[in-house]
Structure 1
Amino acid sequence: MVFTATNNSYGEPQDLKTPMTRALKQLLASTGVSLAFGGSVDPNGLVKLDCFVGPTIGAVPGGEVAQGEGLGGKAAALRTGISVNDYCDEQSITHRYDPIIRAEGLRSLVAVPVIVSRRVVGMMYGAFRTFDIIGGRIERSVGHEVRALEQALVVRELAAPRVTGGELDAVRLREELRETHRSIRALARQASEPGVRKALAMMAERLMQATSETDNGAVQDIDSGVTAREKEVLQLAGAGLPNQVIADALGLSLHTVKSYMKSAMSKLHGRTRLEAVVAARTKGLIP
Structure 2
Amino acid sequence: MRPSDVALLRQASREVRGAIRGAVSFAGLCDQGQVRVTAVAGAATRRLTSIVLRPSRGLGGRSWDTGQALAVDDYGASDDITHDFDAQILGEGIVTLAVAPIVVRSRMRGLLYAGTRSPARGPEMARFLEHQAGQVAHELDVRDQVDLRLRMLLAADAIRAVPASAAPGEDADAVLTPRQVEVLELVALGLRNAEIAEHLGLSVPTVKSYLRAAMARLHAGTRQAAVVEARRLGLLA
Q: TM-score scaled by structure 2?
A: 0.59
Matched with 2:118 is 130
Residues in 1 aligned to 2:62 and 2:30: alpha-carbon distance in whole angstroms? 13
Q: Is the 8 A contact 1:82 1:110 kept in 2?
A: yes
Structure 1 residue 144 displacement after superposition: 1.3
Q: Is the 8 A contact 2:69 2:127 kept in 1?
A: no
SS of residue paired to 2:50 = coil
Residues in 1 aligned to 2:117 and 2:69: alpha-carbon distance in whole angstroms? 20
Mapping 1:91-106, distance limit 5 Å = 91-106=79-94
Task: Count residues in correspondence.
Answer: 151
Alignment match of 2:136 (pick from 149, 160, 167): 149
Matched with 2:209 is none
What residue identity is the alignment partner of 1:100? Q
Matched with 1:18 is 7
Structure 1 residue 99 displacement after superposition: 2.2
Structure 1 residue 98 displacement after superposition: 1.5
Structure 2 residues without counterparts, runs of 5 or longer: 152-237
Q: Is the 8 A contact 1:30 1:141 kept in 2?
A: no
Matched with 1:159 is 146
- State the superposition RMSD in angstroms: 2.0
Q: Is the 8 A contact 1:38 1:52 kept in 2?
A: yes
Matched with 1:5 is none
Residues in 2 aligned to 1:102 and 1:77: alpha-carbon distance in whole angstroms? 23
Q: 1:154-178 CA deviation, whole Å, 9 max, x = no partner?
A: 11211224559xxxxxxxxxxxxxx
Structure 1 residue 43 displacement after superposition: 3.4
What residue identity is the alignment partner of 1:143? E
Structure 1 segments of 4 or more deviating over 3 A?
Answer: 161-164
Matched with 1:75 is 63
Alignment match of 2:78 (pick from 90, 95, 109): 90
SS of residue paired to 1:61 = helix
SS of residue paired to 2:15 = helix
Alignment match of 1:41 (pick from 30, 38, 41): 30
Matched with 1:257 is none
Matched with 1:57 is 45
Residues in 1 aligned to 2:37 and 2:55: alpha-carbon distance in whole angstroms? 13
Matched with 2:107 is 119
Q: Is the 8 A contact 1:33 1:128 kept in 2?
A: yes
Structure 1 residue 33 displacement after superposition: 4.3
Bigger Rg, which one: 2
Q: 1:233-259 CA deviation, whole Å, 9 max, x = no partner?
A: xxxxxxxxxxxxxxxxxxxxxxxxxxx
Structure 1 residue 149 displacement after superposition: 0.7
Q: TM-score scaled by structure 1?
A: 0.49
What residue identity is the alignment partner of 1:24? S
Identity of aligned residues (%): 22
Residues in 2 aligned to 1:161 and 1:143: alpha-carbon distance in whole angstroms? 26
Q: 1:5-32 CA deviation, whole Å, 9 max, x = no partner?
A: xxxx84x8xx421111111122112222
Q: Is the 8 A contact 2:51 2:85 kept in 1?
A: no
Q: Is the 8 A contact 2:98 2:113 kept in 1?
A: yes
